[in-house]
Amino acid sequence: MTDSEDHNALAAEYVLGTLDASERAQAEAMMSTDKDFAGLVEAWERRLNTLSQMVGQVEPRSEVWEKIRAEIAQTTASSVQFPQAAAPSDMRAANADDAALAAANVVAFRGQVRRWRNVAAFTSAIAAALVAMVATQAYRPDLLPEGLRPKPQIQVVQAPAPVPAQYVAVLQKDGNSPAFILTVDNATKNFTVRKVDAQPEPGKSYELWIVSDKLQQPRSLGVIGGDEFTARPVLSSYDADTINQATYAVTVEPGGGSPTGVPTGPIVFTGKLVESVPAAQPSPKK
């Protein structure tokens, strides 16, 4: 048995209160000097405190105390020893010392065995009590003390975020095939322009404008890039009515866009937004 195992058993019996006076004094001395041993004692106290909450106090019967007193008296009387006569020779003295040392080792070993038997029995009792507590928590939590009852689990179900409406405008000229398709997200106010049939003009740029009665003049939404898709978040400064009711126009400007901030080239494509995907409605409560 290693020292750590013996210390663990000693800590368990200290908390159980099964040590005699000398062993208890030894344990208390170790607690004041050995932090690891003190930690073992605290760990066993926590285990016992959990079990003590599950068991109510029981007053022992009077005859139990009488038996305890009688047992103490008998143990005290049997522990009285009378000194033996000294051995007549050095050989006998050496043999007596060896016998005493062997007897001390046997007593210490028996004490360790007894201690570990007690700890093993108590550990089995803890395991059985914990199994019973877990089963009671699952099936009859009302039988447990208030502090040991499982807390009710509250499940928070988050409703899915509503899907915002989507708007689309076909930018074309005279009802011919579309040159660009403009899509606007009503929630983020971001727009995406997809090039369809528009053909690039050398040294020129297509520029997108928003035209509305609420605005004093057309306002630029930026140059449409040469890639298939152009996306920008520049509609965030406009209210929803202005965005949804405005006319969107494309002009041909010098390379890089209008130098003046207002349209300088001809308007080649126009279109208005229509709702292509309606906003999702919340599901009715059942």
Tell me the average pLDDT of the chain.
75
Quote the CA–CA distance of 123 and 15 in Å, as a whole number: 13
The 10 Å Cβ neighbour count of residue 260 is: 8
Quote the CA–CA distance of 193 and 168 in Å, as a whole number: 10
Q: Hey, which residues does 229 pair with through a beta bridge?
A: 194
Span 146-155, pLDDT tens digits: 665 566 666 6
Q: Which CATH architecture has domain 166-277?
A: Sandwich (2.60)
Span 136-195, pLDDT tens digits: 555 566 655 666 556 666 666 666 666 677 888 888 887 777 889 999 988 888 999 999
Structure confidence at residue 107 as a pLDDT band (50, 70, 90): very low
Report CA 65 to chain centroid distance, whole Å: 51
Q: Which residues of 38-69 are buried (b: 16+ CB within 10 A; e: fewer)?
A: eebbeebeebbeeeeeeeeeeeeeeeeeeeee
Region(s) of the chain under CATH 2.60.40 = 166-277
Q: Which amino acid is at 162?
A: P
Structure confidence at residue 259 as a pLDDT band (50, 70, 90): very high
Q: Which amino acid is at 13?
A: E
Q: Are 18 and 122 in contact, with CB atoms under 8 Å apart?
A: no
The 10 Å Cβ neighbour count of residue 212 is: 17
Average pLDDT over residues 80-98: 53
Span 41-76, pLDDT tens digits: 888 888 777 665 555 555 667 777 777 778 777 776
What stretches of the chain show up as alpha helix (H) in DSSP? 3-16, 21-33, 35-52, 62-78, 90-139, 240-245
